[in-house]
Structure 1
Amino acid sequence: MAERIEHKPEQSTFEIYVGDALAGHADYTEISGVRTFDHTVTEPDFRGQGIAGKVVTAALDATRAEGLKIIAGCSYVEKFVAENPEYKDLLA
């Protein structure tokens, strides 16, 4: 099934869909050019498929493109950045 990622700034979240089903999301708060990613969720039916990594990759790439920095407020984003050093420059 096709996957798509949507940034919903009005809800401070990046969502990933598999087909029409919401498979996961990465939520953030943004203050003064810094996005604190505080919660990453993969819905139970989609766990073990790399969904969280895909939505976090898209969220961090979009954050970089917008010229913002991040704080890894949730353990998943913290681990993701530690394992993917190409994103360490985003850390505030």
Structure 2
Amino acid sequence: MSSLVEDNPAQHRFEILVDDALAGFSAYEPVGDVLVFTHTEVDPRFQNMGVGATLVRETLDQVRARGGQIVPQCRFMAAFVERHPEYAPLVADQP
């Protein structure tokens, strides 16, 4: 199973393709240099295969690579960041 995570700025989401099929996405709202992640969804055909974790990990790696920050409003992403403290520096300070 090969997967690819790409930003789709027109749709305001990062998408994961598995064997060329859209397997899931993490939706965001851009606020300056901060991406507010509001929802993560994995197609039922790809659940319990690690697709969600791969999607979030690669999304966060791409955000980090371009110097951005996140607000993980999505419960799935927030739980992932909590379990993987190496991503905690990406979380923007909130007022």
Q: TM-score, normalised by structure 1?
A: 0.94
**Considering only aligned residues, what root-mean-square deviation do their CA atoms show, in Å?**
0.9
- Which runs of 5 or more structure 2 residues have no equivalent in the other structure? none
- Which runs of 5 or more structure 1 residues have no equivalent in the other structure? none
Q: Spell out, residue by residue over 1:10-34, the C-alpha distance to the aligned partner (whole angstroms, 9 max, x if none).
A: 2111111111211111111111111
Spell out the pairing of 1:51-66 with structure 2 (5 A cutoff): 51-66=51-66
Q: Distance in 1 between matches of 2:65 and 2:81?
A: 17
What is the aligned residue count?
92
Give the percent of matched residue pairs that are identical in Structure 1 and Structure 2. Answer: 39
Q: Displaced runs of 4+ in structure 1, greater than 6 A?
A: none
Instruction: Confirm or deny that 1:3 pairs with 2:15.
Output: no
Q: Distance in 2 between matches of 1:77 and 1:55?
A: 10
Instruction: Confirm or deny that 1:33 pairs with 2:37.
Output: no
